[in-house]
Chains A and B, each alone.
Chain A
Amino acid sequence: MTEPLSFELSRRGALAPRLPEAGVTAPEPSQVFSQDQLRANPLDLPRLSEPELMRHYSRMASMNYSISEQFYPLGSCTMKYNPVVNEAAATLPGFADLHPYQDESTVQGALELMWRLERALCAVVGVERVTLQPAAGAHGEWTALRMISAYHHSRGDNRTEVLVPDSAHGTNPASAALSGFHVVEVKSGPDGRISLPDLESKLSPHVAALMLTNPNTLGLFEREILDIAEMVHATGAMLYYDGANLNAFMGICRPGDMGFDAVHMNLHKTFTTPHGGGGPGAGPVGVKADLVPFLPTPTVERTNGHLKLDFKRPQSIGRVRSFYGNFGMLVRAYAYIVAMGGDGLAQASRDAVLSANYLRKQVEDDLDMPHEGPCMHEFVASAHNLAPQGVRALDIAKALLDRDFYAPTVYFPLVVPEAIMVEPTETESKATLDAFAAAIKEIVAEARSNPQALHDAPRNLPVGRLDEVAAARRINAYLQGLSDDPVLRWKPAPK
């Protein structure tokens, strides 16, 4: 099925929606503004009637896979169920219609929600305070590194390096570089965990922080985390926690207790706020006492039951976005935490770990398992065993799409060739897990008997594999003025 672009469906004669008239005596824009100040070329936007518009978007929606319909075992993404009641909560007029510049006395409920969410997140991860300002995970990560940088500067300490494991997500080194640090990679050992000897060789008074995910991107718990924390702190550096994998151990252990100074979290992963096709999310950051003075401004403070925004924070790193945070997402996460409670969150992590180990067991003979179990809430397999058949992780991913599953993460982490990272989460039934395992077995069998079928996948979707190289070349041609097709937007056919 295909669906034309709104621009292609547009018709000259289609009427604009009926809108209220001004109903006042006032000049026309052309009487107030000069020719220069007015738009010269009329806007060329699509004209569609409402029935056509709704049909257009509904057809596009049906071309998407989504967690509402398909199992999404994306490693490190925690694609768990998005509770529908959270949508009702966030869209209450008492939240949705609040202007951010309303007087604080008129938004006590909103501030109380933020304060309570902060307390709850502090309890889950074991820190003193949490900033709810960052709009996304990468944004939160950068915010944490800015705070760490400010901390060192406040002590007259000019530290220029940040250590990042070779298995780290790409945002880790990117955020570090954007915070003004030089990035140094630390190797993983053969057991998939960070190599302590290599870490030791790279620690020095130049190092501002070590960034770690725990469990790491291979789904393995860093057993020596207490030693690691001690080593890092002994050199005066800080320990940063990337919360992508927090779903592994809520209620079981806490990053704060492990020695992490800054703890980053993703509300759109662990705390169910919906992914929306790529955002919005929220990336709160928890901090221990030493980093509290550097939190972004404003913070939410509560005295005698009265809430206020605190703008008087002289050592703050400033603002990282406008207003106070992705408030609508904060409401959703808060509703989830209230519904689950401490007991529910702990059971969620336990079920997540159980499901991942169960699924790993089901497919351990079909795919390569580069590391020993048990895993935590996710595991990394490899399609390397199918190399003799010329079949790659990409082929497996596409073949899963044909079988009505969204594919797991592939080609990450970089330390495992042909990596397939699987995270089932706690909201998938055993029957779903069994069906997925069966699909893997079927695909692996097909790899051995008819690998071409996998190279041709997917065949059941609106499009097959897209030629990215040709697309990149067409973009090049456009950027060099050799072609009129912009590729990155629709353009009307030349007259």
Chain B
Amino acid sequence: MPYLVHSDEDRTSMLEAIGVKSMDDLLVDIPRSLRIKALDLPLGLSEHETMSQITSLAARNRVFPDRLTFRGGGVYRRFIPAAVAAVTSKPEFYTAYTPYQPEASQGTLQAIFEFQTLIAELTALDVANASLYDGATAVAEAAMMAHIHTGRNEIVVAGYLHPEYVEVLRAFSDGRGIKVRKGTEPGPKTAAVIFQQPDFIGLLVDAKTLTESAHAAGALAIACVDPISLAILAPPGQYGADIAVGEGQQLGLSPSYGGPHVGFISCRKELVRRLPGRLIGTAYDQQGRRGFNLALAAREQHIRREKATSNICTNHSLCALAASVYMTYMGPDGLRHVAEVGFKRAHALAERLSALPGWEPAFPDRQFLNEFPMRVANGPAVIRKLARKGILGPLDVHRWFRELKGVVTFTCTEVNDAQALDELVAALS
């Protein structure tokens, strides 16, 4: 049997050492009526047969080439440097446990400390945590922070926040008697205003005004941001937001049918004690050597138990490591370059699409970065046609927003080369 190590001789000698006759003597506490003969599962397979089965499942999926992928909606195809997988596949990183014994976990602790610093710098806020599961739960956790900090029970969602993030926010809120309202005007009961920048359909919102109006009502401003956009666009700290959250998938993670990805959260220092999840900080040993350690652990569930802000026990450490490697590989210039290339290609594509009969920009007066909404009759048919030609076309957002009938969103990143744009336009003509 795979991965088991004891021979029958080992088992016999271990039973003898324990001083029992058989395994049944060790399982004596289990009522006879509960004992089953066998699991209702097929027998185990050889590695070859296992991989055969797995690869045939993989082969039943259609993979669109990244250069011909123009769909975003929260998950994007990007160039992932080989360095990322080379680091995350190091067994010392991927088979390590949570760093509860810091002396034996300095590699993980330092890498995540670097991640925290990178995210804090990117978002221009004071402190970031060691990561969360995804952008959706990050939004929900930030809302919970605001609720606890202000003592208020209402969260206002302003504009087009990712619809799945809103669903998760509602699920978290239901459990705690918090109301979620869509709108732009905060009130006296509002704990926070949450907005996405750029929003779910790619458009830039007036982050500064939304932040100021939240503050005027005594509420916090939570900005859900695209991490790569922050190389060009104003980061949350610049316009005074209190908490920044987002999805870090674009920072070196494969789409992988939706997960695992990585959520990030950062905040002003006044809110640090409310941060959920792990926090890593510096600490010194007796010899004055600098190390890294889990900090402010008394916030967390294993100590606060029912009084914790969050029940989160883990972070997405290996994904945060991947993001760290990506951001360090790119550096500030690489990240900026990648953001600019996406911006330029998207703007060029938008212009070319607008010139096609039947196509027009959905919101011509609004700005976008590298994701943008277009209006066309029968979006689903267009998308199917593109798929037949091997292109993963735009996202039909009418699926979530009734008022956006006929609107589809396109994304361009650095992997959509100029020729791919030609192929797309040709396929639509």
Contacts and interface: CB of A to CB of B under 8 A. Distances in A.
Contact of B96 (A67, A251, A398): A67
Interface string A173-186: 11111111001000
A63 B110 contact: yes
A176 B306 contact: yes
B312 A223 contact: no
Nearest to A485: B282
B62 A102 contact: yes
A111 to B, nearest CB: 9
23 contacts: A17-B81, A22-B344, A37-B367, A45-B122, A53-B329, A61-B87, A65-B96, A96-B254, A120-B41, A137-B313, A139-B312, A171-B302, A178-B172, A180-B176, A254-B34, A279-B318, A318-B171, A319-B164, A340-B2, A342-B42, A462-B289, A471-B293, A475-B281
Contacts, number: 682
Contacts of B375: none
Interface in B247-304: 247, 254-262, 269-270, 272-273, 278-287, 289-291, 293, 295-296, 300-304
Nearest to B144: A178
Interface stretch (A198-206, A345-353, A445-453): A345-353
A361 interface: yes
Interface stretch (B111-119, B182-190, B215-223, B355-363): B111-119
A302 interface: no
Interface in A16-56: 16-17, 19-29, 32-33, 36-48, 50, 53-54, 56
Interface in B157-204: 162, 164-165, 167-168, 170-172, 174-177, 204
A106 B5 CA distance: 40
A162 to B, nearest CB: 9
Contact of B91 (A68, A74, A91): A68
Contacts of A66: 91-97
Contact of B318 (A65, A169, A276, A472): A276
B310 interface: yes
A109 to B, nearest CB: 3
A109 B61 contact: yes
Contact of A39 (B91, B104, B233, B345): B233
B26 A38 contact: no
Interface stretch (A79-87, A232-240, A381-389): A79-87
Contact of A277 (B41, B93, B124, B239): B93
A365 interface: no
A361 to B, nearest CB: 5
Contacts of B51: 85, 88-89, 335
Contact of A280 (B259, B311, B384): B259
A91 B255 CA distance: 11
Contact of A343 (B44, B345, B392): B44
Interface in A238-267: 249-254, 257-258
- Identify the 7 closest CB pairs spanning chains A and B, nearest first: A323-B258, A94-B58, A341-B44, A276-B318, A109-B60, A342-B41, A68-B91
A39 B306 contact: no
B134 interface: yes
B42 A341 contact: yes
B295 A488 contact: yes
A459 to B, nearest CB: 10
A280 B4 contact: no
Interface string A294-334: 00100000000000000000000111111111111101001
Interface residues of A, number: 202
Contact of B289 (A2, A24, A146, A178): A2
A452 B39 CA distance: 51
Interface in A456-485: 458, 461-468, 470-472, 475, 478-479
Contact of B167 (A17, A180, A318): A318
Given A72-B97, A278-B98, A353-B26, A108 B313 contact: no
A354 B25 CA distance: 10
B319 A5 contact: no
A81 B95 CA distance: 9
Given A174-B304, A223-B31, A319-B167, A92 B5 contact: no
A93 to B, nearest CB: 5
B213 interface: no
B4 A319 contact: no
A68 B95 contact: yes
B358 to A, nearest CB: 22
Nearest to B418: A23
A393 interface: no
A97 B255 contact: yes
B106 A462 contact: yes
Nearest to B130: A278
Interface string B219-254: 000000000001111110011000000010000001
Given A110-B61, A322-B136, A69 B92 contact: yes
B354 interface: no
Interface string B367-390: 100000000000000001001000
Given A19-B337, A66-B91, A343-B38, A466 B293 contact: yes
